[in-house]
Structure 1
């Protein structure tokens, strides 16, 4: 049977935030799935690193696993700490900036 979620151990509990490591001066990513209607990626951002303003074709939900991010959506900045989530609506420009080293799970859902 095809594995729809990859790069993680299967059928056992795992500490999600430990599946991607911080690297000095970098944004590190680990793709979990990339399908026509959904994508899931783990990210680790060093402090001060970010992703510049862009728009996505689907709704994108960020769940912060560790640290703290500033996420700007449509020009409004939001502080998002560990344990919190925020949804970036489809087609609305958004950007991500690490206030501290932080890790997130990004899930993007779009129409097929």
Structure 2
């Protein structure tokens, strides 16, 4: 488990892509931020590596930094290129396959009951 990141402390992480190379036949990750509000993880996938279907209780934003992946959300497959962003609602089933050596940033945000209510709901 990564050391908690204080909500009240700003910080910068530089050189992340250089410090997390794609490793042959592997999936690796590094937790960058970890606090009660959010968690940021950078992943590196070699070509052919995958994450099997799973879900998260948190809202998730995926940003492909380099490479190419096929990201499945429910029954829909999305071919992602560098710069593409995908949003997952809490509890959404998802999986991915790397079609090339790839790195992505994953931001998981805790959503409380009030924030999850539809606009205009009281």
The reply to whether TM is greater than 0.5 is yes
Partner SS state of residue 30, structure 2: strand
In structure 2, the partner of 1:4 is 5
In structure 1, the partner of 2:65 is 65
Q: 1: CA distance between counterparts of 2:46 and 2:12?
A: 30
Q: 2: CA distance between counterparts of 1:43 and 1:53?
A: 16
In structure 2, the partner of 1:51 is 51
Moved >4 Å (runs of 4+): none
Structure 2 gap ranges (5+) = 113-122
Larger radius of gyration: 2
Q: Does the Cα contact within 8 Å between 1:64 and 1:104 map onto a contact in 2?
A: yes
In structure 2, the partner of 1:105 is 105
Q: 2: CA distance between counterparts of 1:38 and 1:47?
A: 28
TM-score by length of 2: 0.77
Q: 2: CA distance between counterparts of 1:42 and 1:49?
A: 15
Structure 1 gap ranges (5+) = none
In structure 2, the partner of 1:20 is 20
Q: Which has a greater percent of strand?
A: 1
Q: What is the aligned length? A: 106
Residue 20 of structure 1: how far off its partner (Å): 1.1
How large is the RMSD of aligned CA atoms in angstroms? 2.1
